[in-house]
Homo-oligomer: A and B are copies of this chain.
């Protein structure tokens, strides 16, 4: 484990992204330190600056890749369901499921240490792609008249807020504190109530 030849003439950028995610999974997002990531990758504390402008840029890189995974799981869940309504619900459940299955990745989405998303255009683009999946699903529901008409983005915001709120509460352990069993499948019921609220 003392040789790191692959990194030294290979892809240190990739290694740093992997190490950052692994550290976040192991120790939590607050323990994630740039020096620690460099240490885990077997390089000096300054080596990361050859690949990322600063710590925030590294976190944004990890977050961006996480958003792609989320988008993939959302589309997979959508494609496994039939009918516009069930598909929208499947996307919502998948969002919450992603947060529970990939805690570290989800927490990194909102790491305030990333700073203004506008300064990370690749991250903003990944957000837009993911949000687009939700928009499409709602448009399909409107076409089948299982969701009421009106501004798609407004409806999407309601849906996003609901699943995002549940995911956030779960990931930050605020539900156990409030006396909920976080192991129980809370998402389907919450998503069904949401869907009822959007119905035509």
- Where the two chains meet, the residues of A that have a C-beta atom closer than 8 Å to any C-beta of B are 28-30, 107, 110, 112-113, 116-118, 124, 127-128, 131, 153-155, 157-158, 160-169, 172-175, 177-180, 186, 189-190, 193-199
Contacts and interface: CB of A to CB of B under 8 A. Distances in A.
A50 to B, nearest CB: 25
Contacts of A113: 30
Secondary structure call for the A interface: helix
A173 B112 CA distance: 10
Contact of A193 (B167, B190, B198): B198
- Copies of the polypeptide in the assembly: 2
Contacts of A154: 186, 189
A155 B30 CA distance: 32
A39 to B, nearest CB: 22
Given A158-B190, A160-B169, A165-B163, A117 B174 contact: yes
Contact of A194 (B158, B164, B168, B169): B158
Nearest to A179: B153
Contacts of A167: 165
9 contacts: A110-B174, A127-B174, A131-B178, A155-B193, A157-B186, A161-B163, A161-B165, A161-B169, A193-B197
Nearest to A109: B174
Contact of A169 (B28, B164, B173, B195): B164
A180 B157 contact: yes
B178 A190 contact: no
A47 to B, nearest CB: 24
Contact of A180 (B153, B164, B199): B153
* 8 interchain residue pairs of minimum CB distance: A165-B165, A197-B197, A161-B165, A161-B166, A164-B165, A193-B197, A196-B197, A162-B162
